[in-house]
Structure formats: structure tokens, C-alpha cells
Structure 1
């Protein structure tokens, strides 16, 4: 299991239709809510699918900020 937190910025393998590969994690759990950093579109994605599509974690959120 990949340790992702709300506020982390991630890069996925396939681009969003707007062209951006970068997303912000908005909610965690069995399903993730992620927000495209290109067009601000939000999407729900199952944890298993997100972990397969994840290319890299660009920025971790410091837990003290939350």
C-alpha cells in the first residue's frame, strides 16, 4: 500500500484529456478523490487502480499542516 495523504501532489502515467499528468489528492480511503491540476476537474478512482497508474509522488504534504 502506497502511503498517500490528503494534499499530496501525484503524477499519473496517462494524461487527463486536458493534457495534464499531475493531480492533487483530495480524499483517501478505499476510493480516492483526485483533482486535476490542469483543469481542476475532480474524479473518483479506486485505490487499486490509482496505485497501478501512479508514476511518482511529486510533493508530500507535511502532516503538521493539516
Structure 2
């Protein structure tokens, strides 16, 4: 699910019968997935057999902070 948006990854995981735990944290690897709102890591890893796994943990890059509205003087 790496590279998917948080919503896409949640939908994929729940569609496969897994629970989802999301952690919003910036990817520390400079060469890794850096797009805001995108999954950059999952646990267990994608190549792990699904037997006995109830929940998938997703690490997602944070969305940028919204720009404050300029106040009228």
C-alpha cells in the first residue's frame, strides 16, 4: 500500500479483512516517499503472508498546514 493515499490504503486493507492503525509521521528517509498524505511504510511488510494478521499499521506523511487567512485591517 506504499504510495497510496491514506484513504486508498484504508479501503484496500479493510477490503482484505484487516483492521487499520494509522500513524501520521514524516518519512525520515530523504529518498523515500515524501508526498503529503501518502503511505510511506506499512507493518507487516507487503510480502508478509496474511495468516494470523488482524491489523495493518500504516505510516503516512502529514498534510501541509493550511495557510492562515489574512486578516482584514
Q: TM tier, shorter chain?
A: under 0.3
Q: Which has the larger radius of gyration?
A: 2
Q: TM-score if structure 2 supplies the norm length? A: 0.23
Higher strand fraction: Structure 1 or Structure 2? 1
